[in-house]
Structure 1
């Protein structure tokens, strides 16, 4: 069966690559037409996609629309409005001694791109990179997560009805299907997921010399100093943390609170949780569930590593974990070192920011770092210390919805960025058309060379080379 599946996937890739060879660079208008058809597909099937997201993760319809469909519609509109500018070639005509250069640099598509998307935002994280890939002129194969089957199957059906497979197609299957796909010679792979799986994808891609863009998440620290505390700030953190039951790659992972406002912050967290989800969050229509049993079991173990200040309720048969706040976590606990990716918020007091950094309690290369502060010096210090591609001050999550903000990781959180122009650049490479127009034959550049030739080169190097 594996050989039959591999042959089918190989044939699909060859079909896309042959189409790319026959028409390597679609026109800007053709790319816009593809994107607008994708937009219309989302609009036509909006209700069905919301229902699929609710089925897969019990997502509230508000969250399903806001953080999946609306983001994609905004991205398409932004890209279509900017594509003419992005695709415009840069030209220069410098003069040299004996000749004039004509240099034209533009962006060229890779060809056929494989997109492997995760389960936490199964629609947005499948199509958001595809938008950038199409804008750059590529053809795409999307492999959605098997842990969001309703969304994956609907995506396969609707894209299959809208696009020919040599332009855009969806392949469903399990981890074995993903391994077969990553073993094929795609022209670029875009992967969103865990660090462990990302390493495996990189190893397989390396065998084909295939470039890879990785979005891997990480432990996104959220620091709240004394000047940054306010009830509104705490509400922001609670909202961002427990959105989608904490299964958001840019959710605040751990909250570090200055000891002078620690107890006030905890009390405000409790008030916000009660306001958002009520005293019985299990009955709330605005609170999602854990996506699959394996992840549920991991989170259940993490809850046991600290004192439960709020929450802690579990319903295994429904994959429900209440919004949970942990305190008094012993040093060395695994929850302090690994990404939580769920509705568990460790809240840790600190006295001095420099000590926090010296203890390496904050992952420098997380996907994003959050800071709530009004202190300019503290803000500068955190911005300087972090390696994350984004340091967000006094807000959470919103930067990830802005198509003008590059979204990506560095180090353990991945490499490469997308969204907006960053996506156009990620899925294309710089290509230069070079031409020389001679007006004088210069024979001194040919051997044999003399000391006089070397002296001339030294004196006039800017005009000769």
Structure 2
């Protein structure tokens, strides 16, 4: 990007920040109107967005609507219905010796927020944090992924037609544009993506003391014990794993199966894959492709690290990798350490759950942990072991679509949460108005101090301080 482009980006940020200084914090009515305009934009351009998502990743139209547009519409409706309650100031009064404290605390927006979104859900993960940011009273600049070019370009077009740039704007371009944006003095940065890029964003923000919310990934273990097996369970796991060709940050990464049901599980997985995608998944209209070639190559490397039990077909020209199940993975393989983020499911047998946890094969701070079980002791053991913000029992994926559940990571899977009220809180800070109504002048708090003053403080500290 040349100097003119840099100047344009800085001018956009200046425009938003000047508007923040010139105008008061948006009222609840104004925020709701902004969100409802966003909702109407999604409704009016639904067919165009679905077409763009299909173009970018061969996304099935059903998935494009359900996991991009429908989730956003549900989030907007939930936020609009709750916003007045969330923004209501919290008041408290305390009687002190000589005065009355009156405290009024309310959420205040940070100002201008930069949102850097990924390619796997290019519409949802661009606008979901924007909903939270706008609900909290901020202005936003969104940088969508260049690996979802059709969706990104359409989003830029319709946002510019719907909102003034000082409220919401979309900037397209490659990773250099994203890197440049992180050098500008935004008031908050929200990043969704890989851990390595998240570190770079965090380091750049730290140089300017800009707060950051990081939504990263992780190896989401899925544990299936001997009490949790059923054909229905396997269908749930297979659906969650291969949704969007496995390119979902909360997809089950690796399946750990009790040895007593290991062979039956492999057979049921195979049957479910044929049921969902047919004998030739490449011909299925219900199965997505890989987003870009570099990620495609990484997935092929993962596939070589175990024995292929199901699938294994691929086509580089179409960025296609069939739903693949692998077993017999060699210890130390990178697929056991790194997030897969694709349609490859390692299935690993275990004999004892406590022993499995002792082997440290399960990432404790993954984005989510899944367990399918009827054994309360096993469930309790996983809940105690995991540091993840969510442990999902006998279900996959669904928690991420619920606006009443905070969505976020801890440790290597990120920090900070959003969706619903969690997002409203994350994109603002508490601002306090403190008033002291004096009814008695107390001179003993001023120097010089005496032993008697110390004795009074010791005796009446709760009422003095």
Bin for the TM-score computed over the shorter chain: over 0.9
Other-structure match for 1:115: 115
1:12-411 paired onto structure 2 within 5 Å: 12-411=12-411
SS in 2 for 1:429: strand
Query: Structure 2: how far apart are the matches of 1:346 and 1:118?
Result: 25
1:320-372 Cα shifts (integer Å, max 9, x gaps): 00000000001000000000000000000011111111111100000000000
In the alignment, the residues of structure 1 paired with residue 117 and residue 452 of structure 2 have an alpha-carbon distance, to the nearest angstrom, of 62
Aligned partner of 1:416 in structure 2 is 416
CA distance in 1, matches of 2:116, 2:209: 18
Report if aligned partners of 1:75, 1:420 keep a CA contact under 8 Å in 2: yes
2:398 & 2:383 partners in 1: Cα distance? 18
State the shift of 1:2 in Å: 3.3
Query: Residue 189 of structure 1 aligns to a residue in which SS?
Result: strand
Residue ranges of structure 2 left out of the alignment (5+ in a row): none
Give secondary structure in 2 for the equivalent of 1:228. coil
User: TM (normalized to structure 2)?
Assistant: 0.99
Q: What is the TM-score of this pair, normalised by structure 1? A: 0.99
CA distance in 1, matches of 2:69, 2:234: 27
Write out the 4+ residue segments of structure 1 that deviate beyond 2 Å after TM superposition: 1-4
Q: What is the deviation of 1:24?
A: 4.1
CA distance in 2, matches of 1:142, 1:222: 33
Q: Secondary structure at the match of 2:444?
A: helix
* Cα pair 1:220 1:370 within 8 Å, conserved: yes
The offset of 1:377, in angstroms, is 1.0
CA contact (8 A) 1:372 1:394 kept: yes
What's the secondary structure of 2:460's corresponding residue? helix
Contact 1:24 1:111 in 2 (8 A): no
SS at match of 1:444: coil
Distance 1:233 1:89 in 2: 45
Matches of 1:329 and 1:137, distance apart in 2: 50
Aligned counterparts of 1:12 and 1:90: Cα–Cα separation in 2 = 34
1:4 aligns with 2:24: no
* Matches of 2:458 and 2:353, distance apart in 1: 53
CA distance in 1, matches of 2:180, 2:102: 44
Question: How far, CA to CA, are the matches of 1:445 and 1:357 in structure 2?
Answer: 58
Secondary structure of the corresponding residue to residue 249 of structure 1? coil
Distance 2:324 2:14 in 1: 49
Cα pair 1:372 1:395 within 8 Å, conserved: yes
Offset, 1:4? 2.2
- Displacement of 1:3 after TM fit? 2.5
The separation in 1 between residues aligned to 2:24 and 2:427, in whole angstroms, is: 14
Deviation string 1:77-122 (CA, Å, 9 cap, x unpaired) is 0000000000001001110000001100000000000000000000
Q: Counterparts of 1:57 and 1:77 in 2: how far apart (Å)? A: 28
The CA distance in 2 between the partners of 1:412 and 1:211, in whole Å, is 17
TM-superposition CA deviations, 1:22-58 (whole Å, max 9, x none): 1241000000000000000000000000000000000
Question: What is the root-mean-square deviation in Å for CA atoms of aligned residues?
Answer: 0.6
